[in-house]
Every structure is written in structure tokens, then in C-alpha cells.
């Protein structure tokens, strides 16, 4: 049995604790909070045996093997370093840290200490993502040329919340854009150029942003993120022979559609007369599209066991049981690559976070 501790008692902590219930070989041993009342309440609701009134007490608990860090982005570096220094394995929420330099520090320490460490990019471990990788590796859509991904949620504009608060590492890119960037890196690799634009709000964080990744082989990825509006929350990967749609919700997808392009890529300069008749009638147009899709679009649905968070946790358990210090599916160099892209884009719109460049010893209470 691998014993888990959770730092934080907010949304992600609760979802993860629930997900852990369906993980083989895992037990949730303790929760740590800045306040005794929150720790007790969380422990009571989720049947957690130990409730600590500080993060440091949980980290010092000798019975805990691995700590899941579910606190605001600005605390990820300090808490990860603290856990690793105490000999604990770490699963840290996305974004892994505030920037690439902080990620490097955490990764270096984990490697020096031969301890397991991973970014909690849960999307990557969901069952349907296996289908996505297989279809792309088998070249079912031919050579990938373009990826578009858009994620957005209309979040209540509260300057103190972790979404908008600059001191907590807020902003659309680090909160939502990171999913699209991570997907692009997973499927296309490391880009050769990053271009970013953003709209900064009154608190100074990016409330909407758009990032374009260019690849040496001429591929492109366009990622948008918004805290102001509901996005399509899906991704489309387009290749020379077809396209693959990862349906909403992109953060935790369960449905994909593969569409083969059988010669329809080229628009004939002299379209036949029946085409122009169809295009004038909405009913005929819909019927034509439906008939056209039959046999050409294949949809796959993969339902979850548990609430979805269990898959990343199961991967951690699998790695710990087999003595691995990194996951092959979510390697630390991949996380560092994502952090570099986030830095690059953020620099282009002039957003920095307070204290992000300080390299002091971790500050944990
Ligand atoms: N994988 C996912 O689907 C997913 C979803 C949401 C969020 N996340 C990530 O998970 C992390 C936490 O997000 P969340 O939505 O769970 O946030 P949240 O609901 O605001 O909870 C964050 C928790 O962190 C602790 N905390 C420590 N310092 C804090 C501070 N200065 N201000 C506020 N809270 C503080 C609090 O717990 P105590 O008071 O008990 O100490 C709080 O409950 C973020 O890094 C986010 O990017 C991931």
C-alpha cells in the first residue's frame, strides 16, 4: 500500500481525494491545511485518518510515501522542495511551478535524491488519450500539420481568487492554456518558436491569451485560453489524410472523432451544378453533411472508472511500486519543456510574478 498525503483542502484536493478511492494499492493517510478547522472538515468528509493544521506537520509524517500538492501555483516550488527534502515522492498540480527556473530546481533535487516526482497533468492519463496517441502514431490522419486547442471558462472576476491574483500565480495561461501547450508538446514535441499575445486585466494577469507554436518541420499549434468566456474546450489535430477531434471537455476528454479526408481536400474550381443547389438549402445542406459523414467519421467513447483523477494517481503508484523515479508518459523533461514555453509566451506580454526569480530556501509552515 502506498500512503498518500494531500496538501490543501480546496477544489483539486477534494476531487483528487475522491479519485484515490478507486486506485489499487493506494490509501489516503493524511491531509494538511493552513487551518485546523479546514483540515478536520476535509478529513471528516473524505474519511482521512490524519488531519494536520500545517503543511510541515504532514510533510514530517514518517508514514507518508507520496504527497499530492493541490495549493495555488505560487506555492508549488516551495512545497515540492520541502517534500523532496523530507524524502517524500511528489505529485504536484499543474502548472508544475511558476517558471522554468523553479521547475529546474525541483527536478534537479528530485533527481539528486532519486525520488519520484511528476506534474499532475491528469488529462494525459485518461483512457481516451491512449487512442489519440495510437491514431497519431499509426498515421491514421497522415502527417500532422496543425493542432488547434481552445480552453475557456467564464470565471467570476474576483481579484483575490487564485485565477486573477498575481501573487498566487494567476492568469489564463498558467491555469488553462497549460493544458493545450502540454497536449501540443505531447503530440508534436518541442517547438522551435513561440509567439504569444494576451489581454491583461486590472490585476495584471492574462485574462485571455493566444499562443502559437511553430515546429521545425513546418507544423503549427494554436492554443487559446480565456478566463472571460466559455471556450470550445476541444482540440483538433489535422493531418495530411484526416483530422482527429478531441471533444469537450478537453481537460478530461472521453470522446474523440476520427475523420478521414478522402480526396475532399481540394475544392474543384468548377463545382458541379447539384452542389450549388444543395448549398442554397439549409435542409439539403444538413442532409448532405450527415450522409457525407457516414462511414467517414468514426467516434470512440471511453468512459472513466472513478472520477478521472485516479488514472494519474494509479500511474504514480505503478511507478513507486516498480522503483521508477519518473513516469515515461509524463517525464520531467517534458514538464520543463512546457514551463519554458509558458515563460516565453508570458515574457512577450510582460507578465511576471512577485518573487518568482528568488531562489531562497523553501518557505513552508
Ligand atoms: N487537475 C485539475 O483538474 C485541477 C483543477 C483545479 C485546479 N488545479 C490546480 O490545483 C491547484 C489548486 O487549485 P484549486 O482549484 O484546488 O484551488 P482552491 O480551491 O482555491 O484551493 C487551493 C487550496 O490551497 C490552499 N492554499 C494555500 N495557500 C493559499 C493561499 N494563499 N490562498 C488560497 N489558498 C491557499 C488552501 O488550502 P488550506 O486553506 O487548507 O491550506 C486552498 O484550499 C492549482 O495549482 C490549480 O492549477 C488543477
* Dist CA 45 CA 345 (whole Å): 40
Task: Tell me the pLDDT band of 263, cut-offs 50, 70 and 90.
Answer: low
Whole-number Å distance, alpha carbon 71 to ligand 1 midpoint, is 4
- DSSP element (H, E) containing 95: none
Higher pLDDT, 363 or 250: 250
Distance set, CA 169 to CA 58, 76, 98, 156, 164 (Å): 24, 10, 7, 17, 8
* Dist CA 352 CA 316 (whole Å): 32
Whole-number Å distance, alpha carbon 177 to ligand 1 midpoint, is 17
Q: Is the CB of 70 under 6 A from ligand 1?
A: yes
Angle value at C-alpha 325, between 321 and 331, nearest 5 degrees:
120
Does residue 187 carry a pLDDT above 90?
Answer: yes
Strand partners, 6: 31, 68
What phi and psi, each to the nearest 5 degrees, are found at residue 301? Answer: -120, 130
Angle value at C-alpha 90, between 88 and 96, nearest 5 degrees:
145
Q: Which residue has the cell 495549493?
A: 71
Least confidently predicted of 21-25, 101-105, 270-274: 270-274
Check: CB of residue 253 under 8 Å from CB of residue 129.
yes
107-139 burial, b at 16+ Cβ within 10 Å, e below that, comes to: bebbeeeebbbbbbbbbbbbbbbebbeebbeee
Does residue 282 carry a pLDDT above 90?
Answer: no
Q: 32, exposed or middle or buried, with CB in 10 Å at 0-12, 13-18, 19+?
A: buried
SS3 39: helix
Average pLDDT over residues 316-344: 98
Whole-number Å distance, alpha carbon 12 to ligand 1 midpoint, is 6
Ligand 1: nearest atom to the Cα of 174: 47
- CATH number for the domain whose boundaries are 2-124+307-332: 3.40.50.720
251-265 burial, b at 16+ Cβ within 10 Å, e below that, comes to: bbbbbbbbbebeeee
Q: Is the CB of 73 under 6 A from ligand 1?
A: yes
- The region that residue 350 occupies, defined by phi over 0 for left and psi between -120 and 50 for alpha, beta otherwise, is left
Check: CB of residue 339 under 8 Å from CB of residue 100.
yes
Given this model, what pLDDT does residue 221 score?
98
Predicted confidence (pLDDT) per residue in 14-44, tens digit = 999 999 999 999 999 999 999 999 999 999 9
Q: Is 94 a catalytic residue?
A: yes
Q: Is the CB of 226 under 6 A from ligand 1?
A: no
Given this model, what pLDDT does residue 268 score?
45
* CATH fold match for the domains 2-124+307-332 and 127-273+287-301: no
**Grid cell at residue 4:** 498518500
Ligand 1: nearest atom to the Cα of 8: 37
Average pLDDT of the chain is 94
* Dist CA 138 CA 250 (whole Å): 22
> Which of 5, 9, 20, 8 is closest to 312 using CA atoms?
20
Check: CB of residue 83 under 8 Å from CB of residue 64.
no
Predicted confidence (pLDDT) per residue in 349-364, tens digit = 999 999 888 776 666 7
Count of residues in the chain: 365
Strand partners, 68: 6, 91
**Domain range 127-273+287-301, CATH architecture:** 2-Layer Sandwich (3.30)
Boundaries of every domain in the chain: 2-124+307-332, 127-273+287-301
Distance set, CA 84 to CA 45, 120, 227, 333, 338 (Å): 28, 16, 33, 18, 22
Whole-number Å distance, alpha carbon 328 to ligand 1 midpoint, is 27
Average pLDDT over residues 88-100: 98
Task: Tell me the pLDDT band of 288, cut-offs 50, 70 and 90.
Answer: confident
- pTM for the whole structure: 0.93
* Dist CA 68 CA 205 (whole Å): 26
Q: Is the CB of 286 under 6 A from ligand 1?
A: no
Q: Is the CB of 182 under 6 A from ligand 1?
A: no
Amino acid at each position: 500500500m502506498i500512503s498518500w498525503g494531500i496538501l490543501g483542502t480546496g477544489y483539486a484536493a477534494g476531487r483528487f481525494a475522491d479519485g484515490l478511492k478507486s486506485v489499487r494499492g493506494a490509501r489516503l493517510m493524511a491531509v494538511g491545511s493552513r487551518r485546523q478547522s479546514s483540515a478536520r472538515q476535509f478529513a471528516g468528509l473524505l474519511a482521512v485518518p490524519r488531519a494536520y493544521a500545517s503543511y510541515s506537520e504532514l510533510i514530517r509524517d514518517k508514514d507518508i510515501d507520496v504527497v499530492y500538492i493541490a495549493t495555488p501555483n505560487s506555492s508549488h516550488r516551495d512545497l515540492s522542495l520541502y517534500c523532496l527534502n523530507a524524502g517524500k515522492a511528489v505529485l504536484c498540480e499543474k502548472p508544475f511551478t511558476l517558471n522554468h527556473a523553479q521547475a529546474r530546481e525541483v527536478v534537479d533535487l528530485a533527481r539528486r535524491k532519486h525520488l519520484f516526482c511528476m506534474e499532475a497533468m491528469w488529462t494525459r492519463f485518461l483512457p481516451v488519450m491512449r487512442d489519440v496517441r495510437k491514431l497519431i502514431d499509426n498515421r491514421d490522419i497522415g502527417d500532422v500539420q496543425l493542432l488547434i486547442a481552445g480552453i475557456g471558462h467564464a470565471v467570476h472576476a474576483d481579484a483575490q481568487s487564485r485565477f486573477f491574483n498575481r501573487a498566487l500565480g494567476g492568469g489564463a495561461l498558467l491555469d488553462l492554456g497549460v493544458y493545450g501547450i502540454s497536449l501540443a508538446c505531447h503530440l508534436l514535441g518541442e517547438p522551435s518558436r513561440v509567439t504569444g499575445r494576451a489581454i491583461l486585466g486590472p490585476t495584471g494577469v492574462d485574462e485571455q491569451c493566444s499562443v502559437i507554436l511553430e515546429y521545425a518541420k513546418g507544423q503549427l499549434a494554436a492554443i487559446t485560453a480565456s478566463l472571460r468566456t466559455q471556450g470550445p474546450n476541444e482540440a483538433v489535430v489535422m493531418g495530411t489524410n484526416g483530422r482527429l477531434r478531441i471533444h469537450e471537455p478537453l481537460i478530461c476528454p472521453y470522446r474523440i472523432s476520427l475523420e478521414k479526408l478522402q480526396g475532399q481536400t481540394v475544392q474543384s474550381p468548377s463545382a458541379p451544378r447539384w452542389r450549388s443547389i444543395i448549398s442554397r438549402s439549409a435542409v439539403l445542406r444538413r442532409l448532405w453533411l450527415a450522409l457525407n459523414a457516414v462511414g467517414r467519421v468514426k467516434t470512440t467513447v471511453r468512459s472513466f472508472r472513478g472520477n478521472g483523477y485516479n488514472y494519474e494517481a494509479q500511474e504514480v503508484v505503478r511507478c513507486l511500486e516498480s522503483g521508477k523515479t519518473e513516469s515515461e508518459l509524463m517525464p520531467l523533461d517534458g514538464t520543463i519543456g512546457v514551463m519554458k514555453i509558458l515563460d516565453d509566451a508570458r515574457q512577450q506580454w510582460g507578465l511576471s510574478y512577485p518573487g518568482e526569480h528568488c531562489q531562497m530556501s523553501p518557505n513552508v509552515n
